[in-house]
């Protein structure tokens, strides 16, 4: 099997000649980005503090520090780094070793009602304010997310009231 770097070198040599110009460069980008794992995957920040960078290198600019359990959406993964998006839409790079597959969601409405079951006529177990992070348990019922607060209370919330599900 050909490595990603070997494939990229081949495409650069063939497609980026003067004959192909900008079009060739675009083709290289599209083909290379296909071979890099891309998709919509949710993760959370594993460490108490993880540095978010503006490029996939520890020598690049530091944008901010993310706290533990912050849910992020991986946009692209490249050689030990992930470009991620947070609930505000901010994009940054983070080392993959600082990510966890344990999923969390964040409340994106001023006050979210958490129900006992995935039905608005069921009892409200508790309410959560905007920006509260909770553990994602599952999304088995369409339009609903089952979650757990760090204090142990669990329930269901409408999926449009949280981000990261």
Residue 106: partners with Cβ closer than 8 Å, 6 or more residues away: 70, 71, 87, 131, 132, 133, 134, 162, 163, 164
Rounded CA gap, 113 and 157, in Å? Answer: 6
What's the pLDDT at 28?
Answer: 41
Are 5 and 28 contacting, i.e. CB atoms less than 8 angstroms apart?
A: no
Q: pLDDT tens, 31-49?
A: 444 444 444 699 999 988 9
Residue range 105-163 forms a domain whose CATH class is mainly beta
Query: Mean pLDDT, 10 residues at a time, over the chain (165 residues)?
Result: 46 49 45 45 92 94 94 94 94 96 96 95 96 94 95 95 92
Distances 23 to 13, 29, 97 between C-alpha atoms, Å: 14, 10, 36
Is residue 34 within a helix (H) or strand (E), and if so which, with residue range?
helix 21-35
The pTM of the whole model exceeds 0.85:
no
Q: Where are the domains of the chain?
A: 4-35, 38-102, 105-163
Pick the CATH number of 38-102 from 2.60.40.1120, 3.40.228.10, 2.60.40.1170, 2.30.30.40: 2.30.30.40
Output phi, psi for 107, to 5 deg.
-70, 130
What's the pLDDT at 13?
Answer: 52
Domains 38-102 and 105-163 share a fold: yes
């Amino acid at each position: 099997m050909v490595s990603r770097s070997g494939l990229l070198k081949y495409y650069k040599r063939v497609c980026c000649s003067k004959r192909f110009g900008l079009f060739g460069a675009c083709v290289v980008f599209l083909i290379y980005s296909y071979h890099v794992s891309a998709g919509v995957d949710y993760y959370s920040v594993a460490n108490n503090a993880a540095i978010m960078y503006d490029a996939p290198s520890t020598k690049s600019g530091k944008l901010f520090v993310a706290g533990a359990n912050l849910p992020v959406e991986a946009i692209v993964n490249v050689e030990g780094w992930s470009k991620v998006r947070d609930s505000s839409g901010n994009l940054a790079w983070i080392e993959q070793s600082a990510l966890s597959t344990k999923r969390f969601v964040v409340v994106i409405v001023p006050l979210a009602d958490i129900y006992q079951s995935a039905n608005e006529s069921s009892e409200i177990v508790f309410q959560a304010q905007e920006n509260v992070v909770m553990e994602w348990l599952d999304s088995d019922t369409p339009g609903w997310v089952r979650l757990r607060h760090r204090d142990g209370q669990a329930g269901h919330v409408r999926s449009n009231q949280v981000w990261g599900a």
